[in-house]
A = this chain, B = another copy of it.
Amino acid sequence: MTTEDEFRADTRAWLEAQCPLSMRTPMPEDERVWGGRHASFRHPDSRVWFERMVGRGWTVPTWPREYGGGGLSAAEAIVLKEEMQRLGCRTPLFGFGISMLGPVLLKYGSPAQKAEHLPKIARGEIRWCQGYSEPGAGSDLASLQTKCEDRGDHWLVNGQKVWTSYAHLADWIFCLVRTDTGAKHGGISFLLFDMASAGVEARPIKLISGASAFCETFFTNVRVPKDQLVGRLNDGWTIAKELLQHERGMISEIGRAIGATVPSVDVVAQRYLGDVDGRIVDPVLRDAVARHVMDDHAFQLTLRRAAEESEAGAASGGLSSMFKYYGTEQNKRKFELILKCAGHAALGWEGAGFDESELLACRTWLRSKGNSIEGGTSEIQLNVIAKRVLGLPD
């Protein structure tokens, strides 16, 4: 038996013994565990499962053991993932700390920063949020203006962030701030601070689709200890760019996940338009539905091809922008088509006259409009494709 086989056997045995059966079922969104100072465990078993995984460092399997990680090799981490998928184990802990800040700290953090923050992320003790966009800095993120002044023994932060997801629930924030007004990209730094600091206020944003996890976050004379700046002063853009790439792929996935919560277009069409011998009665909409389903099909095949090419080492670069662009635009088209098929039935806001799937279709239609804005607008993605993939000049 190879070491990997051995690891797989051990892992499987441990998971089978330790993962409660209830934690091997599909997870409703509201049972996700986010950790943090006010951690909640809506499903009682989720705390058990969370604590057992924390104990092995498997909330962050590849992080070093000294920081609360599992110390696994990349290959072992894949085995763990496969075994968890095989059993249907739930992800024990979610958060921007795990997916975004952690990797950055491992790469750019000082030894003290790593020692301070990584174990708390791994153990789900601190929940993080991301402070990037500002009212005046959206597509042009590098024009951000949140001011961070050196006041000798501390930094003084003033300004406003927007679209800070879950800021009202987060304990700490990692944040892009302006430390030099003389340079654009070269005047940005990457700062960490406690959301409980005096002068921090987070207000949830109501979207056209209703309540959201997004916040406006205001900083008024927030005092931040000097050692909470990550990487070099004025070199935050390097970190920001790495994280943006990551975010782009995530949003494209989220778009698809959201889309998946309502029935597929052909099912909606059959429900509202009726069918004869299995064919949607309205031939014009049937053609539109076919076009949409076929584009979805071709898009899924393209995702698979890209993955296979990537494994075979033949991946063409810049494809993440293509996937973000096409996936989000396609998701918007999906809901417009659902509206066309379902008529007034997909235009209900709340209350009587609609079933749950109809109300969800309406809200999700509205929410889908944001997919082509967040994480880099469609226009930005097209710019990126034109430049990086097609080599067209600026």
CA distance A283 to B284 in the complex (A): 6
Any B CB within 8 A of the CB of A140: no
Any B CB within 8 A of the CB of A355: no
Q: Please name the residue on chain B nearest to A288 by beta carbon.
A: B284
Within the oligomer, what is the number of copies of this chain? 2
Enumerate chain B residues within 8 angstroms of A284, measured Cβ to Cβ.
283-284, 287
Per-residue contact bits, chain A 266-309, to B (CB 8 Å; 1 contact, 0 not): 00000000000000000110010000000000000000000000
Q: Please name the residue on chain B nearest to A286 by beta carbon.
A: B284
CA distance A284 to B284 in the complex (A): 5
Shortest distance between the CB of A364 and any CB in chain B (Å): 27
Shortest distance between the CB of A49 and any CB in chain B (Å): 52
Enumerate chain B residues within 8 angstroms of A287, measured Cβ to Cβ.
284
CA distance A287 to B340 in the complex (A): 15
Which residues, 238 to 286 on A, are CB-close (under 8 Å) to B?
283-284
Enumerate chain B residues within 8 angstroms of A283, measured Cβ to Cβ.
283-284
Shortest distance between the CB of A343 and any CB in chain B (Å): 17
Shortest distance between the CB of A85 and any CB in chain B (Å): 42
Shortest distance between the CB of A292 and any CB in chain B (Å): 14
Shortest distance between the CB of A182 and any CB in chain B (Å): 27
On A, residues with C-beta under 8 Å from B are: 283-284, 287
- Interface pairs (4), CB distance under 8 Å: A283-B283, A283-B284, A284-B284, A284-B287
